[in-house]
Structure 1
C-alpha cells in the first residue's frame, strides 16, 4: 500500500477523533449549564465516550503503521 495514502487516512481519522472529543465535552458543558445537578452523571458518560473515541483513533494509528 502507498504510505502517502496511509498518512492521509490517519490524518483524516485524527481530525474525526478531535471533532468527536470536542462535541462530547461541549455537550457536557451545555448539559451542566442547563441542569447543574446532573453534572456527575454527565461527566461519567463523557469520559466513557471519550475513551471510545480515542480507542478508535489509536486503532487508526496502529493501522497506519501496519500499512506503511
Structure 2
C-alpha cells in the first residue's frame, strides 16, 4: 500500500515537472522566434497556445491515472 502512494506522488510530481520544463522551452522558443521575425508573432502565438493546450493534457492524464490508483487499486489491497 505504501509503494502505491509513493507511485501516485511520483506520477503527479514528475508530470508537473515535465510540464513546467515543456512550458519553459515553449515560451523561450516563442520569444526567440518572435524576435527574429516580428511579423510572424501572431501566427506563432496561435500555434503556441495550441501546443500549450496539448502539453497541459499530459499532467491531467497523470492525475487521472493517479486517482485511479489511489481510489480503486489501493482500497483493493487492504
How would you bin the TM-score normalised by the shorter chain?
Answer: over 0.9
After TM superposition, the score normalised by the length of structure 2 is 0.81
Larger-gyration structure (1/2): 2
Which deviates more from structure 2 when the two are superposed, residues 6-15 or residues 38-47? 6-15
How many equivalent residue pairs?
68
Give the secondary-structure state (helix, strand or coil) at the position aligned to 1:14.
helix
The Cα of 1:5 is off from its aligned counterpart by 1.3
Where do 4+ consecutive residues of structure 1 move more than 6 Å?
Answer: none
Provide the alpha-carbon RMSD of the alignment: 1.1
1:37: which partner in 2? 39
Unaligned ranges ≥5, structure 2: 71-78
Unaligned ranges ≥5, structure 1: none
